[in-house]
């Protein structure tokens, strides 16, 4: 087998593993964030947003779900907009994908 073919297979496998790791980390952070939002001081929103940063690029269903939630829940949409304005450009781009008027 050709060396370049083996290298390409290795790259594809590592991207696949990285995507699953991002999904697991994102899911855990988002779940922890939801639990944290139930406390008197809602610090969980930070963990929830960071979890979404992992989930949105790697899971198309998560992006659609967040987009639908933002369209229905005005407070959630305003919170996401306020947070995204403070983020660096690469992270802002990820959250922009979930804006209700954006096409996925």
Give the pLDDT confidence of 73-86 residue by residue, as tens digits: 888 888 888 888 88
Write down the pTM of the prediction.
Answer: 0.73
CA distance 6 to 63: 33
Phi-psi region of 10 (alpha: psi -120 to 50; beta: other; left: phi over 0): alpha
Q: 38 phi and psi, to 5 degrees?
A: -85, -5
* Dist CA 26 CA 32 (whole Å): 10
pLDDT tens profile 54-71: 998 888 888 888 899 889
């Amino acid at each position: 087998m050709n060396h370049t073919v083996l290298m390409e297979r290795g790259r594809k496998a590592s991207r696949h593993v990285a995507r699953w790791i991002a999904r697991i980390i994102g899911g855990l952070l988002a779940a922890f964030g939801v639990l944290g939002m139930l406390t008197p001081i809602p610090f969980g929103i930070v963990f929830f947003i960071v979890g979404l940063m992992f989930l949105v690029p790697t899971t198309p269903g998560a992006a659609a779900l967040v987009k639908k939630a933002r369209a229905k829940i005005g407070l959630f949409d305003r919170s996401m907009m306020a947070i995204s304005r403070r983020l660096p450009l690469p992270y802002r781009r990820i959250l922009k994908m979930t804006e209700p008027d954006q096409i996925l």
